[in-house]
């Protein structure tokens, strides 16, 4: 009988749990979705409870193994050495870090045992082993090169490996403090966004600027090597032992201090964003080329936080040496829980692995909780909500496709919740990509977030090549591709700068076309997400357009919704027009709701 293995990630950011049983991934979820605290780093108590329940495990004592996604003592050694090296300068940072270490991280065995009421085997994988396992084992490849790139694990900040069959081997590592992830996070901090949360904002801001600081970055800050490694000039960084990411020298190099959070964005921040994105893509491409030279393989698997840089991923796919790529959808630390469990299952227990070249084994990463129509109906009845239940998928998707054509914004809640940071048609807010006002409406009236943030398209997999310059699976929204020239509009060269570019209509699907004609594409496959696929088919049949807007079902600073109650609360607090909960549709006009009150936004920290 196959072992029951619980994988855990905790105490840094994005705590998560994953259960493997009967040789497959049964369930995986981030703790934030249950606690409603974005990037919750605490022990994933509720995520564990869900995973065990989904696997029919009544108590943790039934588990064969619990595995943690990194090695806390090795990480503590790195922190201690770093602080001692910079003593006494690092004392404030050391004092701030110690309570969590002394309370939880250094007593991991006892802590896990107490939290789970479990006295069985507890194993530990290395951080980048977890990432590598999460990248390769669910992939559709029998053999592949593996790249993991993030901020830092124990000592490693990037690794190169090879996966074959049911085994992975790590061949080379880049070590702290030299880190592409921390370099990008330093620029995230400097441009006024939150580290470990706002990196995607920096990526989205980049096309508004000009990469005029590239030479300055390459000459002063980072030395990119042909072997994919890099070396940082540490006089510009303070993250080794300080409480800030950057130093005064960094301020001088970039013409002034860091932008305060929420301050007005200027051309400087946009140009800095454009510049560090170019440098990051150069580094990612160097790593990919070196991985290909070293392994000679046609397939590449990616994980680690930097693998969420979908612009860089798209560049590797288009211009890099590999024929095929697969990227772990939960590429950050949450995915470490999945990788750790898979590492024990395949690598240590020698469980066989069968790769299918046509599809991965992560099943659309729909691994979270689901709710039956009867459960949703009971919630609707208890709340006194006016709603209509549709008898089948055909009538439901026909109705939703119809209201979307009238510029309605729809909350879409179906099936199992996604594992990872992207909404993929299970917990999404959707709309008509052809609408010229949809991006502004969603950003300002629904998400309550910065106007420059782009929205992603969901497109029928069988139609993706007609609308975007790509013909590859992108089910997890981790590849950026240009909009097909056949659907672009010429933009007058009137010298528009910065956020003024937002006013220019660039394509027949303006709501998902970024200012550089790019889009972060999600391909929708019938096998993984049949109801969402049918909705896109219905919209295509009615409009001739197989593309809709898809953004995560949440407001700024809030985790993606998990339950029908979360979804309804978000619906009531925003200018959303309709809410679809399974087979039930709720029309805002039919509800007896008080006037919109935005005071609730104080509940959520800005991300």
For residue 487 the two structure tokens come to 């659907």
DSSP 8-state assignment for residue 451: T
Edge-to-edge strand list for the sheet holding 584-587: 388-389, 584-587, 578-581, 410-413, 427-432, 547-552, 456-460, 518-524, 479-482
Residues 6+ apart with CB under 8 A from 282: 224
Residue 424 near residue 476, CB atoms below 8 Å = yes
Catalytic residue among 13, 128, 131, 178: 13
Residue 520 near residue 433, CB atoms below 8 Å = no
CA–CA distances in Å: residue 404 to residues 115, 520, 531, 536: 46, 21, 16, 11
Write out the DSSP string of 473-493.
--TTS-EEEEBPGGGB-PPP-
DSSP 8-state assignment for residue 50: H
DSSP 8-state assignment for residue 471: -
Calculate the dihedral angle through the C-alpha atoms of 146, 147, 152, 155, rounding to the nearest 10 degrees: 60
CA 34 to chain centre: 17
For residue 364 the two structure tokens come to 């659309």
Calculate the dihedral angle through the C-alpha atoms of 470, 473, 478, 483, rounding to the nearest 10 degrees: 30
Residues 6+ apart with CB under 8 A from 343: 67, 125, 129, 130, 133, 137, 168
For residue 252 the two structure tokens come to 């001088």
- Give SS3 for 340: helix
Residue 458 has phi, psi (to 5 degrees) of -100, 135
Helix axes 530-543, 393-404, angle to 10 degrees: 50
Task: List the one residue out of 130, 150, 159 whose CA is nearest residue 306.
Answer: 150
For residue 177 the two structure tokens come to 């403090």
Residue 480 has phi, psi (to 5 degrees) of -100, 135
Residue 501 near residue 209, CB atoms below 8 Å = no
DSSP 8-state assignment for residue 344: I
Residue 350 near residue 166, CB atoms below 8 Å = yes
- Evaluate the CA torsion angle 199, 201, 202, 206 in order and state its sign: positive
Residue 217 has phi, psi (to 5 degrees) of -65, -45
For residue 1 the two structure tokens come to 């009988």
For residue 126 the two structure tokens come to 């290395």
Q: Is 13 a catalytic residue?
A: yes
Residues 6+ apart with CB under 8 A from 21: 2, 4, 5, 55, 56, 57
- Give SS3 for 209: coil
Which positions are annotated as active-site residues? Answer: 13
């Amino acid at each position: 009988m196959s072992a029951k293995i619980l994988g855990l990630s905790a105490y840094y950011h994005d705590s998560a749990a994953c259960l493997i049983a009967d040789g497959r991934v049964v369930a995986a979820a981030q703790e934030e979705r249950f606690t409603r605290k974005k990037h919750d780093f605490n022990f994933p108590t509720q995520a564990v409870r869900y995973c065990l329940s989904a696997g029919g495990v009544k108590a943790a004592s039934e588990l064969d193994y619990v595995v943690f996604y990194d090695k806390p003592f090795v990480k503590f050694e790195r922190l201690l050495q770093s602080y001692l090296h910079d003593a006494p300068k690092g004392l404030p940072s050391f004092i701030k870090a110690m309570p969590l270490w002394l309370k939880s991280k250094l007593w991991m065995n006892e802590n896990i045992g107490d939290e789970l009421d479990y006295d069985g085997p507890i194993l530990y994988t290395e951080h980048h082993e977890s990432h590598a396992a999460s990248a390769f084992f669910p992939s559709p490849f029998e053999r592949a090169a593996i790249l993991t790139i993030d901020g830092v694990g124990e000592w490693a900040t990037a690794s190169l490996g090879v996966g074959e069959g049911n085994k992975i081997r790590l061949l080379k590592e880049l070590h702290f403090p030299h880190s592409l992830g921390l370099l990008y996070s330093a620029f995230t901090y400097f441009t006024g966004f939150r580290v470990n949360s706002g990196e995607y904002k920096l990526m989205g801001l980049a096309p508004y600027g000009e990469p005029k600081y590239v030479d300055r970055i390459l000459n002063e800050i980072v030395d990119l090597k042909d072997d994919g490694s890099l070396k940082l000039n540490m006089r510009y960084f303070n993250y080794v032992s300080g409480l800030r990411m950057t130093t005064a020298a960094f301020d001088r190099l970039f013409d002034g201090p860091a932008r305060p959070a929420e301050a007005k964005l200027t051309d400087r921040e946009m140009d800095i964003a454009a510049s560090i994105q170019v440098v990051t893509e150069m580094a990612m491409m160097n790593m990919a080329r070196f991985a290909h030279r070293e392994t000679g393989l046609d397939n590449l698997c990616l994980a680690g936080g930097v693998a969420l840089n979908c612009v860089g991923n798209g560049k590797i796919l288009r211009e890099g040496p590999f024929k095929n790529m697969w990227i772990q959808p939960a590429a950050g630390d949450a995915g470490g829980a999945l990788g750790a469990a898979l590492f024990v299952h395949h690598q240590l227990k020698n469980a066989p692995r069968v790769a299918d070249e046509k599809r991965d084994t992560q099943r659309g990463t729909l691994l979270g909780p689901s709710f039956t129509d009867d459960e949703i109906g009971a919630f609707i009845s208890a709340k006194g909500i006016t709603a209509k239940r549709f008898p089948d998928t055909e009538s439901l998707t026909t109705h939703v496709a119809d209201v979307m054509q009238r510029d309605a914004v729809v909350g879409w809640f179906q099936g199992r919740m996604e594992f990872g940071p992207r909404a993929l048609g299970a917990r999404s807010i959707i709309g008509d990509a052809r609408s010229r006002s949809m991006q502004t409406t969603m950003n300002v009236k629904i998400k309550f977030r910065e106007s420059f943030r782009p929205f992603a398209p969901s497109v029928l997999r069988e139609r993706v090549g007609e609308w975007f310059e790509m013909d590859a699976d992108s089910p997890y929204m981790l590849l950026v591709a240009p909009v097909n020239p056949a659907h672009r509009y010429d933009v007058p060269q009137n010298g528009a700068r910065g956020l003024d570019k937002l006013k220019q209509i660039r394509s027949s699907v303006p709501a998902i076309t970024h200012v550089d004609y790019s889009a972060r594409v999600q391909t929708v496959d019938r096998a993984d997400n049949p109801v969402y696929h049918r909705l896109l088919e219905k919209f295509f049949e009615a409009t001739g357009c197989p593309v809709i807007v898809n953004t995560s079902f949440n407001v700024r600073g809030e985790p993606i919704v998990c339950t029908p109650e979360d979804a309804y609360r978000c619906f009531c607090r925003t200018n959303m027009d309709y809410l679809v909960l399974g087979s039930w549709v709720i029309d805002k006009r039919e509800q007896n709701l008080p006037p919109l009150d935005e005071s609730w936004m104080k509940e959520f920290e800005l991300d």
